[in-house]
A and B are shown apart, each in its own frame.
Chain A
Amino acid sequence: EAEVAQSPRYKITEKSQAVAFWCDPISGHATLYWYRQILGQGPELLVQFQDESVVDDSQLPKDRFSAERLKGVDSTLKIQPAELGDSAMYLCASSSPPTSGPYEQYFGPGTRLTVT
């Protein structure tokens, strides 16, 4: 079964440093999502791509976060500089158009970020 790949699985960084996460969606999935999930809470959408275009980045802290999906396939999420409050699980998901209803999203294993 095809899966969403993410790396690294775990990342520890010091505050003010830069950090980057990578995601490779399921082949053929045009829509890619980056979520942030704080322990004990549900995922929060940071950015959504349709192919290489951003369709929703309303919750992305643009002063320090950036995301790109240059060729409409894999994607990178960057934080610079990292802050203590950025410690969370960063999840990537992808989807393809369903026959009806909202897109079923397939999630990767996530990257656990700890900022010290």
Chain B
Amino acid sequence: LAKTTQPISMDSYEGQEVNITCSHNNIATNDYITWYQQFPSQGPRFIIQGYKTKVTNEVASLFIPADRKSSTLSLPRVSLSDTAVYYCLVAGNNRKLIWGLGTSLAVNP
């Protein structure tokens, strides 16, 4: 099972771009990289998923280099409401998600 490593915490300010990097050195060929967001006392919420290069949706971008051993979640112009825990997960089809500690992002005014 692919293990991920990400910073325990990060601080930012409103309006800034936030980049959270995740390391997954033993990612398998058929593994995808998925990011979830979790607010206190709520269940996690899917943000974005990718296999290689760059994926963008209405809330975030995901950058994956050619070797796929790491990935970066980019949140443009964060607001106070983006304060949450962000989880990076690596898994292939029908494989269960292994959740780490996540990155606790604090956005300050």
Tell whether A and B belong to one assembly: yes
A109 CB within 8 Å of chain B:
yes
A40 contact set on B, CB distance < 8 A: 101
Q: In angstroms, how far is the closest chain A Cβ from the Cβ of B44?
A: 5
B49 CB within 8 Å of chain A:
yes
A102 touches B49 (CB 8 A): yes
B93 contact set on A, CB distance < 8 A: 100-102
A110 and B34 CA atoms in complex are apart in Å by 21
A56 and B43 in contact (CB under 8 A), knowing A42-B101, A101-B51, A104-B49? Answer: no
A91 contact set on B, CB distance < 8 A: 43-44
A38 and B95 CA atoms in complex are apart in Å by 22
B42 CB within 8 Å of chain A:
yes
B96 touches A109 (CB 8 A): no
- 1/0 per residue B27-69: CB within 8 Å of A? 0000010100000011111100101000000000000000000
A93 and B69 CA atoms in complex are apart in Å by 28
Sort chain A's interface into a size bin.
20 to 34
**A44, A101, A106: the one within 8 Å of B49 (CB):** A101
A4 and B44 CA atoms in complex are apart in Å by 12
A88 CB within 8 Å of chain B:
no
Give A33's nearest chain B residue, CB to CB: B96
Q: In angstroms, how far is the closest chain A Cβ from the Cβ of B73?
A: 16
A92 and B44 CA atoms in complex are apart in Å by 10
A95 and B32 CA atoms in complex are apart in Å by 16
A93 touches B43 (CB 8 A): yes
A104 contact set on B, CB distance < 8 A: 34, 46, 49
Residues of A within 8 A of B (CB): 4, 40-45, 48, 56, 89, 91-93, 100-110, 112
